Structure 1
Amino acid sequence: MKALKPFRELLAAGGIHVFDGAMGTLLYAKGVYVNRCYDEISLSNPSLVQEVHREYAKAGAEIVQTNTFGANRPKLEAHGFQDRIQEINYKSAKLAREAVGASVYVAGSIGPLGIRIEPWGPTSFDEAKAFFREQAEALLDGGVDLIVLETFTDLTEIRQALAAVRELAPDLPVVAQMTVGEDGMTGYGTAPETFTKRLDEWGADVIGLNCSVGPKPMLEAIERMAALTEKPLSAQPNAGMPQDLHGRKIYLCSPEYMAKYARRLIQAGVRLIGGCCGTTPEHIKTLTAAVRALSPAKRVEPVISVAETKLPDVRITPPEEKSRFARKIVQREFVTSVEIVPPRGCDPTKMLEGVRLLKEAGVDAVNVPDGPRAQSRMGAIATSLIIEQQVGIETVTHYCCRDRNLLGMTSDLLGAAGLGLRNILIITGDPPKMGPYPDATAVFDIDSIGLTNMVKRLNLGLDLGGNAIGQPTSYFIGVGVNPCAVDLDYEIRRFEYKVEAGAEFAITQPIFDVAMFRAFLKRIEHCRIPIIAGIWPLTSYRNAEFLSNEVPGVVVSPEILERMRCANTSPEAGQREGLAIAREMLAEVRDIVQGVQVSAPFGRVAYALEVFEALR
């Protein structure tokens, strides 16, 4: 049998070549349940994987992709197979080669990590690249002819994947494929014009799209990409959008419909054509027959210009102009705030009575938590607006990542900025299982690090995709930090990421151990931003035990617990001791922090105000 020419020579020849279709769709159709780790099937049922490869080769595919889309450490760890990364990837490459012989190219499939990387999550660029390198190395050992990076939405993530492959095999061809929605944008709002230019600059040999949408939206995006690169283009659309039919997801695009659009994609400049979710060997067979006689369209000269991602020509609000609270902190004045949880219902009257006491007492701001302990209360944004509009005191609006996806968070933050909110404290949020609605689902598209990056971009006049939004937001960005975390190294590393992402101040969990707090401050001197210490006036021994054992991130020292136990002779005695402890904490941290946030236990504002006596 005639040996295959190197894949790079195939690209240089300028013809049209056909990928295979979906792997997961066929494995599911052959009886593999959706809760299985599909990548591991290469080990537990290798003949089934080879059967899929052979069916696609018989249908006319010139390039088959290994069964390794999710075979990276973070994704395999979810199934307990993280120790078999090398084995799964190596075996998958060998299976594909054995199944199709020497007449079909084998592409090593690498998909996203399934976790957020910087600037949207805690995983660094170097860590992400190491994950990709680990997978790519095993695929290369297995003898793949090329690498396909597929279904990426984050441009920074695919850059790390591309860099990892290039470090291992500088001359190996790499196909880099993003995935877009019906509007042609990635999930992060990045336009085809932007990611096409970037992937070209970063050295991808083929630039393309796969998954998420059917052939029509993909054609529209390809047409936008074609004028911006001389690199070959690839397209692997789904068989349309999945439809729910009696509880099952069905892809309705017929092989004939896919073939019709394959011809249009090729006429738009696509050189590598195939299918993704929902496509079968029948789709590939029909597609192959339809495109054999076609030649790729001649590239036209660019008729549009694409601006580099850069800051729009707008005025960025300096920190001291963002709010009165921000100005005091920038000027190194000591700030005071009190945390009041939003009401359980829709009537804020009782809460506003307490807020008015805070304003009369000269407190600088009211901290408004966002669904603390996963409880259902009035939203933090709405509560903050009511407070500012009806009482006239500034708020620090807590905003968590638990309940909204990226689009929802963007909408919320633009709306809140338009309504005048300025101070924001970004937190990841407590998981729903902590609260009274354990069956509620969490979103967690990004964590507090990613959201800090996102808000910083909004402050610069840019959305997630780098698109101008007009007038920038003017948020004074705060983050949470826990000086008494069990894994303090991890907590400090996350704090460093938050500062790098754009945090301008931080509020701590309640402080009950000043010596530990001082040690923490010393460790963050290299990246320290203004720190506001959390102070919690305990109300009883039971309250102290609850905080120590049931509230994440709060550490009540044994000495404080013992003091509260000894004061457990009456409710009044417990409150006096709790108040004394809070005043001591405030007095001891006064000179080493920029301000304090005093909590109002059970909404008792007067009790919280008594803590401030320590300042006088």
Structure 2
Amino acid sequence: MAKRQDLGTALTGSLLVGDGAMATYLYQLGIPVGIPVEELSLTRPQWIEKVHRRYLQAGAKILEANTYGANRERLARYGLEGKVTRINRESVAIARRVAGDTAYVVGAVGSINAGRVPNWSRSEYRDLYEEQVTALLYAGVDGLILETFLDLEELILALETARTLTEKPILCQITMMEVGRTRDGYTLTDAFEQLKKHGADGVGLNCRQGPLEIQRALEKTVVPQGLILSAYPNAGRLGMTDEGFQYASTPDYFKDRAMALREQGVHLIGGCCGTTPDHIQAMSEALEGLSPMPRINPDLVEEKMERPRLEVRTQPTLVEKVRNETTVIVEFDSPKDLDIHDYLYGCEQLNKSGVDAITLADNSMATTRMSNMALASIMKQRTESEPLVHITCRDRNLIGQQSHLMGLHALGIHQILVITGDPTRIGDLPGASSIYDVNSFDLIRMVKQLNEGISFSGKPLKQKAQFVVGAAFNPNVSRMEAAVGRLKKKVEAGADYIMTQPVYDVESIQNVYQATKEIPVPIFIGIMPLTSYRNALFLHHELPGVKIPDRVIKQLEGMNASQARVLGVEMAKELLDEAMKYFKGIYLITPFHYWKMTAELTRYIRSRQKQKTPVAFEQK
């Protein structure tokens, strides 16, 4: 190019071919998976240069610098947070050496959230984007591509940040979880309109979907006039073959689909994951000498999403009950065996004693137990007991979590407790993996999202869930103030009620009340009867923050098992006398499957309730 046009002019008037994948192509060339690709611009610049040169030779007129993940947050995972500027600068320099006057160089800026749970800080992300974009502009890029954004709101933040720093062209590319919609629920028509308002020069789609799915999405989308349209599809879907993980789409297929994308008015066509120089060459040959076609938007009838149905609930929830009367939850963990006869009999007796709900832990202490979902359903059908199911973040990834919740909804089980879960290393299968895709705060938010009729991925659902979500609180800590601060965040995330770990003395009950009296949701105070002298010793000396009165430990010493359980129940009754002065929610934990103990305590609560024992405050 003797005196080439600026990038904006070239994109407006020409049909250009972009490059293809960087990371997946490097993996095909033998670079080990797991190495941060952006760091290779410093440690193996010749590899990055080789990839750029192959794409240039294949016909690419726009090269993306190797900077997709070169932001401080992502680089910090590899101890590279201090090299943000250097990596971006050197990546641009490599691409510029290859491009010469033959191609344009754009800075690639990827989503920081990158598919994780959409829970991010605007101020923090703005600083991260500003740092990376400043480095790219200083290095001399011709423009920017903000790509692979699942959430429109994050993309707008990145665009706003970049636009304050430059007048150079900025292209914004969305990645779809569902065809035609962003993860945070916007149609592409709405998203593209918003991006134009915030200063985008171009809009488009990249990653996850192949060329046909991107074509389908564009056919149903209104693109605002004056915007450059781009498409960087994957080489189809990633799948397992005899030779390992592979992408399905061939270069010949991409040649055909490039023509179809041109018919949609796309001005810039490149490739994303799985594409190679062969894919780019095939498209370049197909499009050589052709001009862009005008964009013809579809005549859309206003898309009216069916409102998610909300089934009418026939029974009051625990939260509704506890506002008016003393409400008792009893934890009765599912068995470690396949035999459920004795367990169901215990549930039946607990129900007869006056329990409002039986709560089932989710493999407590990371020890394998029967599925609490299956057992809760059987329990509900055979004993008419109301189940409350615990859900940990430990055992299921996000796919499994949503599937599990959808199953609970289908079974009519709506009352749940979300907890982090003990790590697998302390359980009976210490070699098992702990998942922890999300923490308890995130999972609470996502459950409440299902209640709005929106899936974890942002897809609208035909029906709203009705989950009543509980959260856990451990008062047996040295710094109560910090624990209450964490509890408040769970309530802000959407927790409808709180269940506490067990307390063992009157002073602790009073402390919990004072610490939580401003919390705007019901508190179920935890009480678990002692069963033996050794049980008391363990709790007092080996569990942090748990205090058993010396007089009780001394009383238990020398008692046989039967005598100790009788005393344990009497002690729990004393605690209940105090607890019922402050709390309408009582959470009884059954020790070692001794359901007779918690049944007796439930009957005691009901007898006290008939005496109309005054409560010290109006229950939240």
TM-score by length of 1: 0.84
Counterpart of 1:355, as a letter, is C
SS for the counterpart of 1:262 is: helix
SS for the counterpart of 1:225 is: coil
Q: Given the alignment, which residue of 518, 525, 528 partners 2:520?
A: 528
Q: Is the CA contact (8 Å cut-off) linking 2:540 and 2:547 kept in structure 1?
A: no
124-133 vs 42-51, greater mean Cα deviation: 124-133
Q: Is the CA contact (8 Å cut-off) linking 1:506 and 1:532 kept in structure 2?
A: yes
Counterpart of 1:325, as a letter, is L
**Could you tell me which residue of structure 2 aligns to residue 90 of structure 1?**
89
**Could you tell me which residue of structure 2 aligns to residue 234 of structure 1?**
230
460-469 vs 369-378, greater mean Cα deviation: 460-469
1:156-555 equivalence runs, <5 A: 156-166=153-163, 168-169=164-165, 171-180=167-176, 192-193=188-189, 195-226=191-222, 231-307=227-303, 312=307, 323-331=316-324, 333-464=325-456, 468-484=460-476, 495-511=487-503, 528-540=520-532, 543=535, 555=544
1:187-212 CA-partner distances (Å, limit 9, x unpaired): 67765455445544554332222222
- The separation in 2 between residues aligned to 1:410 and 1:246, in whole angstroms, is 30
Q: Is the CA contact (8 Å cut-off) linking 2:175 and 2:208 kept in structure 1?
A: yes
**Could you tell me which residue of structure 1 aligns to residue 20 of structure 2?**
21
**Could you tell me which residue of structure 2 aligns to residue 556 of structure 1?**
545
SS for the counterpart of 2:78 is: coil
**Could you tell me which residue of structure 1 aligns to residue 612 of structure 2?**
none
CA displacement at 1:539 relative to structure 2: 3.6
Evaluate the alpha carbon distance shift between residue 261 and residue 541 of structure 1 in structure 2; reply closer, same or farther with a 3 A threshold. Answer: farther
- The separation in 1 between residues aligned to 2:175 and 2:104, in whole angstroms, is 23
Counterpart of 1:507, as a letter, is M
CA displacement at 1:226 relative to structure 2: 4.8
261-270 vs 448-457, greater mean Cα deviation: 448-457
- The separation in 1 between residues aligned to 2:165 and 2:550, in whole angstroms, is 59
CA displacement at 1:363 relative to structure 2: 1.8
364-373 vs 424-433, greater mean Cα deviation: 424-433
Evaluate the alpha carbon distance shift between residue 210 and residue 77 of structure 1 in structure 2; reply closer, same or farther with a 3 A threshold. Answer: same
CA displacement at 1:273 relative to structure 2: 0.9
1:401-442 CA-partner distances (Å, limit 9, x unpaired): 444454544444344334322322223444444433344445
Is the counterpart of residue 603 in structure 1 residue 603 in structure 2?
no
- The separation in 2 between residues aligned to 1:430 and 1:200, in whole angstroms, is 47
CA displacement at 1:132 relative to structure 2: 3.6
What is the RMSD computed on CA atoms of the aligned residues?
Answer: 3.8
294-303 vs 108-117, greater mean Cα deviation: 108-117
CA displacement at 1:264 relative to structure 2: 1.0
- The separation in 1 between residues aligned to 2:239 and 2:589, in whole angstroms, is 49
1:157-216 CA-partner distances (Å, limit 9, x unpaired): 4344334434x5263433222223685666677654554455445543322222223222
SS for the counterpart of 2:221 is: helix
SS for the counterpart of 1:360 is: helix
Evaluate the alpha carbon distance shift between residue 591 and residue 20 of structure 1 in structure 2; reply closer, same or farther with a 3 A threshold. Answer: farther
CA displacement at 1:484 relative to structure 2: 4.9
Unaligned runs of 5+ in 1: none
1:552-587 CA-partner distances (Å, limit 9, x unpaired): xx7433666997599555554765776566556545
SS for the counterpart of 1:78 is: helix
CA displacement at 1:23 relative to structure 2: 0.9
**Could you tell me which residue of structure 1 aligns to residue 65 of structure 2?**
66
Evaluate the alpha carbon distance shift between residue 337 and residue 49 of structure 1 in structure 2; reply closer, same or farther with a 3 A threshold. Answer: same
CA displacement at 1:455 relative to structure 2: 2.9
Evaluate the alpha carbon distance shift between residue 602 and residue 250 of structure 1 in structure 2; reply closer, same or farther with a 3 A threshold. Answer: same
SS for the counterpart of 1:175 is: strand
Q: Is the CA contact (8 Å cut-off) linking 1:587 and 1:614 kept in structure 2?
A: no
93-102 vs 347-356, greater mean Cα deviation: 93-102
Evaluate the alpha carbon distance shift between residue 526 and residue 556 of structure 1 in structure 2; reply closer, same or farther with a 3 A threshold. Answer: closer
- The separation in 2 between residues aligned to 1:306 and 1:466, in whole angstroms, is 20
CA displacement at 1:543 relative to structure 2: 4.5
CA displacement at 1:129 relative to structure 2: 3.9
1:257-293 CA-partner distances (Å, limit 9, x unpaired): 2122112111112121111122222322332232233
**Could you tell me which residue of structure 1 aligns to residue 55 of structure 2?**
56
359-368 vs 400-409, greater mean Cα deviation: 400-409
Evaluate the alpha carbon distance shift between residue 89 and residue 371 of structure 1 in structure 2; reply closer, same or farther with a 3 A threshold. Answer: farther
- The separation in 2 between residues aligned to 1:123 and 1:101, in whole angstroms, is 39
Evaluate the alpha carbon distance shift between residue 494 and residue 275 of structure 1 in structure 2; reply closer, same or farther with a 3 A threshold. Answer: farther
Evaluate the alpha carbon distance shift between residue 549 and residue 473 of structure 1 in structure 2; reply closer, same or farther with a 3 A threshold. Answer: farther
- The separation in 2 between residues aligned to 1:295 and 1:403, in whole angstroms, is 53
Counterpart of 1:205, as a letter, is D
- The separation in 2 between residues aligned to 1:531 and 1:129, in whole angstroms, is 38
CA displacement at 1:526 relative to structure 2: 6.2
CA displacement at 1:127 relative to structure 2: 3.7
Evaluate the alpha carbon distance shift between residue 374 and residue 136 of structure 1 in structure 2; reply closer, same or farther with a 3 A threshold. Answer: farther
- The separation in 2 between residues aligned to 1:582 and 1:111, in whole angstroms, is 56
Q: Is the CA contact (8 Å cut-off) linking 1:496 and 1:527 kept in structure 2?
A: yes
CA displacement at 1:367 relative to structure 2: 0.9
Q: Is the CA contact (8 Å cut-off) linking 1:507 and 1:597 kept in structure 2?
A: yes
Counterpart of 2:27, as a letter, is Y
CA displacement at 1:337 relative to structure 2: 0.9
SS for the counterpart of 1:507 is: strand
Counterpart of 2:61, as a letter, is E
436-445 vs 230-239, greater mean Cα deviation: 436-445
Larger radius of gyration: 2
- The separation in 2 between residues aligned to 1:400 and 1:348, in whole angstroms, is 22
Q: Given the alignment, which residue of 126, 147, 161 partners 2:144?
A: 147
SS for the counterpart of 1:275 is: coil
Q: Is the CA contact (8 Å cut-off) linking 1:233 and 1:272 kept in structure 2?
A: yes
Unaligned runs of 5+ in 2: 609-620
Counterpart of 2:591, as a letter, is P
Evaluate the alpha carbon distance shift between residue 372 and residue 133 of structure 1 in structure 2; reply closer, same or farther with a 3 A threshold. Answer: farther
Evaluate the alpha carbon distance shift between residue 410 and residue 266 of structure 1 in structure 2; reply closer, same or farther with a 3 A threshold. Answer: same
- The separation in 2 between residues aligned to 1:523 and 1:127, in whole angstroms, is 31
Q: Aligned pairs, how many?
A: 605
Counterpart of 2:290, as a letter, is L
CA displacement at 1:544 relative to structure 2: 6.0
CA displacement at 1:225 relative to structure 2: 2.8
